[in-house]
Chain A
Amino acid sequence: MVRAFDEMRQGPEGPVRGAYAEVAAWLARTPLEELEAKRAEAELLFRRIGITFAVYGEGGDPERLIPFDIIPRVLGRTEWERLSTGLAQRVRALNAFLADCYGPQEILKAGRIPARLVTGNDLFRQEMLDFTPPGGVYTHIAGIDLVRTGPDEFYVLEDNARTPSGVSYMLENREAMLRLFPKLVARHRLLPVNRYPEDLLATLKAAAPERAGPDPTVVVLTPGSFNSAYYEHCFLADEMGVEVVEGADLFVENEVVFMRTTAGPRRVDVIYRRIDDDFLDPLAFRPDSLLGVPGLMAAYRAGNVALCNAPGCGIADDKAVYPYVPEMIRFYLGEEPKLANVPTYLCEREEDRAYVLDHLHELVVKLAQGSGGYGMMIGPHATAAERAEFAARIRARPGDYIAQPTLALSTVPTLCASGIAPRHVDLRPFVLSTKDEVRIVPGGLTRVALREGSLVVNSSQGGGTKDTWVLENDPSPSTQPC
Chain B
Amino acid sequence: MLSRTADCLFWLGRYTERAANVARGLSVTLRLASLSSELGAELDAWRSLLVASGCAPGFDAKHAETTQENVVDFLVRDPDNLSGIIPCFSAARHNARTVRTALTVDMWGALNDSWNQIRTAEFQGERLPGFLEWVRERVLLFNGAAQDTMLRGEPWLFVQLGTALERADNTARLLDVKHGLLGRASQDTVEYGQWQAILQSVSALRAYHWVYRDRLEAAKIAELLILRPELPRSLVACFGRVVEVLERIAAGQGGRRGECHRLAGELHARLAYGRIDDILEGGLHAFLTDMIGRTARLGSEIEAFYIRA
Answer whether residue A370 sits at the interface, using C-beta atoms and an 8 A cutoff. no
Say yes or no: A260 contacts B4, CB within 8 Å.
Answer: yes
B97:A262 contact, CB within 8 angstroms = no
Instruction: Establish whether residues A262 and B98, one from each chain, have CB atoms under 8 Å apart when the complex forms.
Output: no
| A225-244 interface code vs B (CB 8 A; 1 in, 0 out) | 10000000010011000011
Of the candidate stretches A191-199, A245-253, A346-354, A358-366, the one touching chain B is A245-253
Residue of A nearest to B10 (CB): A262
Given the interface contacts A245-B2, A246-B4, A248-B4, does A263 sit within 8 Å of B101 by beta carbon?
no
Q: A243 near B97 (CB under 8 angstroms)?
A: no
Give A237's nearest chain B residue, CB to CB.
Answer: B101
Whether B2 contacts A249 by the Cβ 8 Å rule is yes
Asked whether, in the complex, the Cβ of B2 is within 8 Å of the Cβ of A263, the reply is: no
Please tell me if the beta carbons of A234 and B4 are within 8 angstroms of each other in the complex. no
Which B residues are CB-close (under 8 A) to A225? 97-98
At the interface, yes or no: B309 with Cβ under 8 Å from chain A? yes
* Min distance, Cβ A253 to any Cβ of chain B, angstroms: 13
Q: Which residues of B contact A245 (CB under 8 A)?
A: 2, 4
Which of A48, A238, A260 is close to B2, meaning CB atoms less than 8 Å apart?
A260
Chain B's closest residue to A246 (CB) is B4
A262-B249, A262-B306, A263-B253 known; A243 vs B2 contact (CB < 8 Å) = yes
A259 at the interface (CB under 8 A from B): yes
Interface positions of A from 259 to 280, Cβ below 8 Å from B: 259-264
Residue of A nearest to B252 (CB): A263
With a CB–CB cut-off of 8 A, which chain B residues contact A261? 1-3
Taken together as a complex, chains A and B put the C-alpha atoms of A262 and B97 apart, in Å, by: 20
Quote the shortest CB–CB distance from B114 to chain A (angstroms): 17
Q: Which residue of A lies closest to B1 (CB)?
A: A262
Q: Does A50 contact B (CB under 8 A)?
A: yes
Look across to chain A and name the residue whose beta carbon is closest to the beta carbon of B309. A264
B34 nearest CB across to chain A (Å): 43
* Chain A residues near B309 (CB-CB < 8 A): 260, 264
Bound CA–CA A110/B108 (angstroms): 59
Instruction: Give the residue of B100, B101, B105, B253 whose beta carbon is less than 8 angstroms from that of A262.
Output: B253
Taken together as a complex, chains A and B put the C-alpha atoms of A260 and B6 apart, in Å, by 10
Q: Does B127 contact A (CB under 8 A)?
A: no
Count how many chain B residues have C-beta atoms less than 8 Å from C-beta atoms of the other chain. Answer: 18
**Is B215 engaged at the interface, CB distance under 8 Å to the other chain?**
no
Instruction: Point out the residues of chain B lying under 8 angstroms from A50, CB to CB.
Output: 100
Asked if A259 and B100 sit within 8 Å, CB to CB, the answer is no
Residue in chain B with minimal CB distance to A260: B3
Residues of A with C-beta under 8 A to B154: 262
Q: Are B3 and A262 in contact (CB under 8 A)?
A: yes
CA of A244 to CA of B100, assembled, Å: 11
CA distance A249 to B253 in the complex (A): 19
Q: How far is the CB of A47 from chain B (nearest CB, A)?
A: 11
Q: Mark B243-269, 1 if CB is under 8 A from A, else 0.
A: 000000100010010000000000000
Complex-state Cα separation, A261 to B249, whole angstroms: 13
- Chain B residues contacting A238 (CB-CB under 8 Å) are 101
Contacts of B2 in A (CB 8 A): 243, 245, 249, 259-262
Query: Least Cβ distance of B261 to chain A in Å?
Result: 13
CB distance from B220 to the nearest CB of A (A): 40
Tell me the residues in window 136-172 of chain B with beta carbons closer than 8 Å to chain A beta carbons.
154, 158
When the two chains form their complex, are residues B6 and A262 in contact, meaning their CB atoms are under 8 A apart? yes
A residues near B105, Cβ cutoff 8 Å: 48
Query: Closest A-chain residue to B306, C-beta based?
Result: A262
B249 → chain A closest CB, angstroms:
7
Residues in chain B within 8 A of chain A (CB atoms): 1-4, 6, 97-98, 100-101, 105, 154, 158, 249, 253, 256, 306-307, 309
User: Besides the contacts A48-B105, A262-B6, what 14 more A-B pairs have beta carbons closer than 8 Å?
Assistant: A50-B100, A243-B2, A244-B101, A245-B2, A249-B4, A259-B2, A260-B2, A260-B3, A260-B4, A261-B3, A262-B154, A262-B249, A263-B1, A263-B256
Q: List 25 A-B contacts (CB under 8 A).
A: A225-B98, A234-B101, A238-B101, A243-B2, A245-B4, A246-B4, A248-B4, A249-B2, A249-B4, A259-B2, A260-B4, A260-B309, A262-B1, A262-B3, A262-B6, A262-B154, A262-B158, A262-B249, A262-B253, A262-B306, A262-B307, A263-B1, A263-B253, A263-B256, A264-B256
When A and B form their complex, which 8 residue pairs have the shortest distance between CB atoms, in order from nearest? Answer: A260-B3, A262-B306, A263-B253, A262-B6, A238-B101, A262-B1, A234-B101, A249-B4
